[in-house]
């Protein structure tokens, strides 16, 4: 039973905005689904992240941010909502939950938004708890304890796209980019050295990243014999399937590292200025190297 009395029957969930954060919310989403199997759970978040996580089967309906269906007036009409879990720490996300008419609104304090929430949790110092455990604190208020988490679901269409891309080749992935630039990035020449070592193991190296990371990826791919540069050329689904079949994935502190780890792939994430205690990728074969 939730702290507020009877278990909620209709729950609104505001998904995190970033790939890594959304993947670190998977334990909380799974906990909610297990604890409230009869509840209708409606998720609002970035469309690409909804598509990525929809196959997990942990919610019944969703709407992409920016679509009319995600607006507070429309969501309010779909109610009433017994509770809202607000994962993002922004003022706007808490304001949205209030305007949607959720009776209980659970989120973290900060950004002058505590008055918008009925349950505003204080966060401990950054890194005291992994972000996934912080998210679990939010759903615990609805009576949802942690549960075992399976690997991220790879839907057949994604696997088919990955096979069309690389056939039956044995692949490894290097991902030399990261949001917020050089402060979070291992040098390109270091990724190239790793890539050449992987090539020596008879692996085809895929250099992956976003379109914004194309220059860095091209530099690395050019230094690895036989490498395939996929920067900006794959959707999240295909990239998920490629990670799931990879021999290894080597990356910075990035969304791709979280994605690879979630599939169960051997993932080595090189952290620099950021805290691995707070945001290390989650997975049975995920490892972190912290640069000095």
Phi, psi of 183 (to 5 degrees): -60, -25
Position 181 pLDDT exceeds 70:
no
Position 263 pLDDT exceeds 90:
yes
Question: Band of the pLDDT at 273, cuts 50, 70, 90?
Answer: confident
> Model confidence over 121-171: pLDDT tens digits?
999 888 899 999 999 999 999 999 999 999 999 999 999 999 999 999 999
Q: Nearest 5 degrees, angle CA 21-CA 27-CA 32?
A: 115
Instruction: Please check whether residue 149 lies inside any domain of the structure.
Output: no
> Model confidence over 78-108: pLDDT tens digits?
999 999 999 999 999 999 999 999 999 999 9
Instruction: Please check whether residue 251 lies inside any domain of the structure.
Output: yes
Residue 19 lies in domain = 10-140
Domain co-membership, 16 together with 130: yes
Instruction: Please check whether residue 4 lies inside any domain of the structure.
Output: no
Inter-residue contact 246 to 170 (CB < 8 Å): no
- Whole-number Å distance between alpha carbons of 260 and 245: 10
Domain count, the chain: 2
User: For residue 270, what are the CA distances in angstroms to 25, 91, 113?
Assistant: 21, 32, 34
Within a 13 Å sphere around the CA of 46, how many CA atoms are in the beta-carbon half? 14
Domain co-membership, 286 together with 170: yes
Domain co-membership, 257 together with 228: yes
Q: Which of 107, 140, 173 is the last residue of a domain?
A: 140
Position 1 pLDDT exceeds 60:
no
Question: Band of the pLDDT at 109, cuts 50, 70, 90?
Answer: very high
Instruction: Please check whether residue 117 lies inside any domain of the structure.
Output: yes
Domain co-membership, 180 together with 119: no
pLDDT of amino acid 178:
79
Domain co-membership, 114 together with 171: no
Position 176 pLDDT exceeds 90:
yes
Instruction: Please check whether residue 267 lies inside any domain of the structure.
Output: yes
Size of the chain in residues: 292
> Model confidence over 56-81: pLDDT tens digits?
999 999 999 999 999 999 999 999 99
Q: What single string gives the DSSP state of each residue in 155-186?
A: -HHHHHHHHHHHTT--EEEEE---TTGGGG--
Q: Which of 140, 172, 199 is the last residue of a domain?
A: 140
Domain co-membership, 208 together with 284: yes
On average, the pLDDT of the chain sits at 95
pLDDT of amino acid 4:
55
Average of per-residue pLDDT across 194-201: 98
Inter-residue contact 163 to 233 (CB < 8 Å): no
Position 270 pLDDT exceeds 80:
yes
Average of per-residue pLDDT across 167-185: 87
pLDDT of amino acid 224:
98
- Whole-number Å distance between alpha carbons of 279 and 259: 13
CATH of the domain at 220: 3.40.50.2000
Range scoring the smallest mean pLDDT among 53-62, 89-98, 180-189, 232-241: 180-189
Instruction: Please check whether residue 243 lies inside any domain of the structure.
Output: yes
Domain co-membership, 242 together with 283: yes
- Which pTM does this prediction carry? 0.94
Instruction: Please check whether residue 145 lies inside any domain of the structure.
Output: no
Inter-residue contact 61 to 40 (CB < 8 Å): yes
pLDDT of amino acid 279:
93
Average of per-residue pLDDT across 116-125: 95
Instruction: Please check whether residue 18 lies inside any domain of the structure.
Output: yes
Average of per-residue pLDDT across 284-291: 93
């Amino acid at each position: 039973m939730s702290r507020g009395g009877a278990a909620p029957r209709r729950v609104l969930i505001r998904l995190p905005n970033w790939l890594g954060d959304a993947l670190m919310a998977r334990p909380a989403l799974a906990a909610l689904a297990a604890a409230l199997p009869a509840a209708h759970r409606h998720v609002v978040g970035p469309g690409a992240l909804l598509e990525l996580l929809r196959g997990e089967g942990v919610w019944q309906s969703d709407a992409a941010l920016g679509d009319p269906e995600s607006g507070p007036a429309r969501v309010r009409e779909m109610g009433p909502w017994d509770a809202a879990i607000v994962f993002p720490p922004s003022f706007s996300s808490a304001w949205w939950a209030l305007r949607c008419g959720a009776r209980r609104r659970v989120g973290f304090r900060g950004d002058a938004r505590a008055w918008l929430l009925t349950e505003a949790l204080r966060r401990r110092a950054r890194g005291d708890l992994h972000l996934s455990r912080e998210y679990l604190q939010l759903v615990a208020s609805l009576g949802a304890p942690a549960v075992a988490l399976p690997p991220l679901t790879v839907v057949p269409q994604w696997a088919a796209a990955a096979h069309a891309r690389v056939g039956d080749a044995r692949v490894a992935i290097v991902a030399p980019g990261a949001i917020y630039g050089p402060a979070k990035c291992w040098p390109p020449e270091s990724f190239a050295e790793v890539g050449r070592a992987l090539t020596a193991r008879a692996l085809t190296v895929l250099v992956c990243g976003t379109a914004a990371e194309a220059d860095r990826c091209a530099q690395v791919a050019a230094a690895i014999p036989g490498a395939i540069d996929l920067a900006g050329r794959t959707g999240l689904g295909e990239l998920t399937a490629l990670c799931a079949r990879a021999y290894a994935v080597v990356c910075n502190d990035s969304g791709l590292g979280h994605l690879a780890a979630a599939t169960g792939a051997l993932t080595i994430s090189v952290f620099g200025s950021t805290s691995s205690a707070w945001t290390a990728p989650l997975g049975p074969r995920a490892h972190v190297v912290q640069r000095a």
